[in-house]
Structure 1
Amino acid sequence: MCIGVTYLGRRFSSPFWSSLGSNFAKVRQDPNVRAVILCSNTRAFTAGLDLKEDSLSLVGADSARSGLLLREHVLEFQAAISKIEDCERPVIVAIHGVCYGLGIDIIAACDIRLCDSKAQFSIKEVDAGIAADIGTLQRLPKKTGNDSLLRELALTARSFGPQEACELGLIAQRHVVEGGKEALMSKALQLAQQIASKSPIATLGTKHLLNYSTDHTVNEGLNYTALWSANALQATDVQDAIQAVVSAKNPKPANFKRLGKL
């Protein structure tokens, strides 16, 4: 089994965020990868978008043309971040230091969020004179459970730490890690290895069905799951998993086959 690791930079420029999307598209096609860790190899997770970049001030011959160019730019951003959510492997994000602006858009698209005990977050966009437009305002209302706090944080752009991130529902309390970046990465790797040891058919299906259920009714989700399971239950993984559990006195973890290339 293989665990993919993708690194972020301190600030996001156009070449970087476009490569981020393409990296996750490649992961989706790699039959060997069973889980992904998203992290940063700099002092902070990310300080957000590079506000000095020329692409943020696109101009056309008139306001209508300028608006169309800017719309395409935003859609490209959105598509790149959505590749994380659309990646059919569980994505664990390890957050240390500051995570501002576009960093929140990115972690909102991940499956499991871990942070160090000194991490700082901010939905920073209103301080730049804009509403967050790359996924924060669309994903967090569905993934967090404190609407009042979410609105306050989005409207004020104030920084908040792990305690409030837990209160918001952005981070689980058990996923706040003491001991700095090294301990954080160790925890992320341990979790990724645990997930990667499971049937890739089961983990892929679980993520896919959870994502589907986010935007559909319970009955729609149940009907779709029935169709999904009609195929998935025919995988050899089911028998392999059962055999591993019931085998004599010394049950061993099942050795699941890799996925075929999607």
Structure 2
Amino acid sequence: MEGKYKSIEIKRKSPNSRVFYVYLNRPSRGNALSPDFFVEFPEALSSLDQNPNVAVIILAGAGPHFCSGIDLQTLTSQSKGTVSNDGGRTGEKLRREIKVMQRSITAIEDCRKPVIAVVHGACVGGGVDIVTACDIRYCTESAFFCVKEVDLAIAADLGSLQRLPAIVGFGNAMELSLTARRFSGLEAKELGLVTKVFDSKEAMEDGVAAIAEGIASKSPLAVVGTKRVLIRSRDLTMDQGLDYIATWNSGVLLSEDLNEAISAQLQKRKPVFAKL
């Protein structure tokens, strides 16, 4: 799981911690998303998801930036690779390639474990696609964001246009996506894109580590269930959402985690839950 990747790096900062870090790891390229990323990232998340020692994942960027977007060389190669006299076959091939890249980002939502984004420096284009798929987002005051794709003559196709409106509101998402303007970490907080803005990268790392450890100490059944129900409920009516959680809890509510949580409350101690 912590093997060698070309585009990412996995770290566990403490041997007893159940918080693992995934770093976008192409700092010389501003962590631009390469073809390797779209293969390695979902594989790494799946591995972490299946590891019982992992409770929470923190997603960060190595070097001075979080992510500068999709590597322009990748876009150029895609454009050249689709030149053909058969427009139908060219379009079908390109659609398959886009769907593969989309699934790489959606892997964040598919992961049972919570994924927390910590953003410093640039979060542009594909970086916004990534953070909008994350469960919680934090950034530094000096961080900046940009839904850049319209400036590259394309419509964002990896999830920003689908996820951003639910986070910042339809009107704000439309304005940010059509203007491709750069906006600050403080404005990201005002829009609701991030939960909290930290003074520095160091303060963010310390603060988010504490938050992640707190989540990791909770019932894994409750944490996994909460993430899945919230994501699923986005596409459901109120009645459908209530029915979904009723069905979910009917399967997992009567657990040893519940017994442990009640016992810990009565005994005024911290609960200890089995790994998932």
- Name which of structure 1's ranges 184-193 and 112-121 shifts more when overlaid on structure 2: 184-193
Q: Which residue of 1 aligns with 2:214?
A: 194
Q: C-alpha displacement at 1:27, in angstroms?
A: 1.6
Aligned pairs (5 A) from 1:34-45 = 34-45=55-66
Per-residue Cα deviation, 1:71-124 (whole angstroms, up to 9, x for no partner):
111001100000001110111100000100000000000000000011000000
Q: Which residue of 1 aligns with 2:78?
A: 56
Q: Which residue of 1 aligns with 2:173?
A: 150
Aligned pairs (5 A) from 1:170-181 = 170-172=193-195, 175-178=196-199, 180-181=200-201
In the TM superposition, structure 1's runs of 4+ consecutive aligned residues that sit over 4 Å from their partners are none
Q: C-alpha displacement at 1:69, in angstroms?
A: 1.3
2:152 to 116, 120, 128: 128
Q: C-alpha displacement at 1:230, in angstroms?
A: 0.9
1:206 to 207, 226, 247: 226
Checking the alignment, whether the CA contact within 8 Å between 1:5 and 1:36 is kept in structure 2 is yes
| CA distance in 2 between partners of 1:55 and 1:209 (Å) | 39
Instruction: List alignment gaps of at least 5 residues for structure 2.
Output: 1-16
The percentage of aligned residue pairs carrying the same residue is: 41
| CA distance in 2 between partners of 1:142 and 1:156 (Å) | 19
1:224 aligns with 2:244: yes
1:164 to 158, 178, 187: 187
1:239 to 259, 262, 266: 259
DSSP-derived class of the 1:113 partner = strand
Q: C-alpha displacement at 1:148, in angstroms?
A: 2.1
| CA distance in 1 between partners of 2:168 and 2:41 (Å) | 25
Instruction: List alignment gaps of at least 5 residues for structure 1.
Output: none
C-alpha RMSD of the superposition: 1.2
Larger relative contact order (C-alpha < 8 A, sep ≥ 6)? 1
1:33 aligns with 2:54: yes
Q: Which residue of 1 aligns with 2:34?
A: 13
Q: Which residue of 2 aligns with 1:46?
A: 67
| CA distance in 2 between partners of 1:182 and 1:55 (Å) | 37
| CA distance in 2 between partners of 1:164 and 1:94 (Å) | 16
